[in-house]
Amino acid sequence: MTAAHDLVVVGASAGGVEALRQVMAALPADFKAAILVVLHVPPDVPSQLAPILRRAGALPVSPAVNRQLIEPGHVYVAPPNRHLLVEDGRLVLTAGPRENSARPAVDVLFRSAARAYGPRAIGVVLSGTLRDGALGLAAIKLHGGTAIVQDPDEALFSGMPESALAATGVDYCLPVAEIGVKLARLTTRLDRGEPPADPGEPPAWEVEEEGVQIGHAADEPGGEGSAKQADAASGLSCPECQGSLWALKGPGGARLECRVGHAYSMESFLTDQGEAVEAALWAAINALQERAAAYRRLGDGLPGGSGDYIARSRQVEGHAEALLELLRTLIVDVEGPPSAGTAMSS
């Protein structure tokens, strides 16, 4: 017998508000499962997502509160700057390390839903950029849950749906207008009185035969069983804390994770690393320009001026200009190569 689904976890980023509104509008007022939503939002701006979704449909919607009991037929929205998890039938809010540069992160919620609800969980990935949610959706599938992805061809931003489709075998890839209807059908077993299946209690660090690592620093009980051995680091550094990164094989692909738990897909790592490189280059340019200005002040302040200091100032200014030109080239390369037949200006 297929397990009754009593928890739906939904992840979205750019373009996700409109997609979430359409999903909420299609859900009936007697929807039986609880719904937990993570949308990437700025950490220092109050979220208006709960009232937006409340107006969009018939279900009650509220911001998640730590240790709150999960009620069926209710929608809970992750607040800014807090990860949302599920544990023992309650919501848990944590200020844990960012994953894929986000807090709240979709992967954190999906991973906890996979552990706590197993085949009773439904994971939904909507519009967004990069890969957050892909590995979490793969974990839901690995634990017997159901995976739904918005059709990338109609998503405002296709990065998250495409990454989820590449990471695991999804059960349904649907236009967003059909996702709410599908969720209602998947949860009707609760109306027929079928009991939810027991997902069991998988260990926090679960390793499959092929070396698939489901665990994460946030799930690691006192470091026991951690895959992060000192002699097995990847040689890469965390863009956020500069600690060593480990390449861990997980459901749906590999991820990079540091000791304290900052976690990245390779795409998000390259994005954050690129931002760190750009910031370092801007700092170096600023330092060179300040050094040139200091030489110039020394030269101008001496009686009759000092040709030596003025010459050094010009030399350092030349170094700063060369570094600035390199930075501009790197920025253009990140934005994408010029189209064929188009020459770059000198």
**CA atoms of 57 and 69, how far apart (whole Å):** 22
pLDDT tens, residue by residue, 128-141: 998 899 989 999 99
Mean pLDDT (the chain, rounded): 83
Which is more confidently placed, 63 or 192?
Answer: 63
6, 107, 132, 219: the catalytic one is 132
Amino acid 92: pLDDT: 96
pLDDT tens, residue by residue, 245-259: 888 776 666 778 877
Residues near 57 by beta carbon (within 8 Å), at least 6 away in sequence: 24, 25, 26, 27
5, 6, 40, 83: the catalytic one is 40
- 127 within 8 A of 156, measured Cβ to Cβ: yes
172 confidence band (pLDDT: 50, 70, 90)? very high
- 148 within 8 A of 33, measured Cβ to Cβ: no
Average pLDDT value for residue range 119-136: 94
Average pLDDT value for residue range 107-118: 94
pLDDT over 80 (residue 150):
yes
pLDDT tens, residue by residue, 217-276: 444 434 445 566 655 677 788 887 778 888 877 666 677 887 777 877 777 788 778 888
Average pLDDT value for residue range 186-190: 76
Which is more confidently placed, 173 or 43?
Answer: 173
> Concatenated DSSP letters for 112-140?
HHHHHHGGGEEEEE-S-SSSTTHHHHHHH
40: annotated active-site residue: yes
Express as a percent the part of the chain with pLDDT over 70: 80
**CA atoms of 149 and 252, how far apart (whole Å):** 15
pLDDT tens, residue by residue, 10-19: 999 999 999 9
210 confidence band (pLDDT: 50, 70, 90)? very low
13, 101, 127, 313: the catalytic one is 13
**CA atoms of 18 and 42, how far apart (whole Å):** 17
pLDDT over 70 (residue 158):
yes
Amino acid 6: pLDDT: 93
Amino acid 241: pLDDT: 76
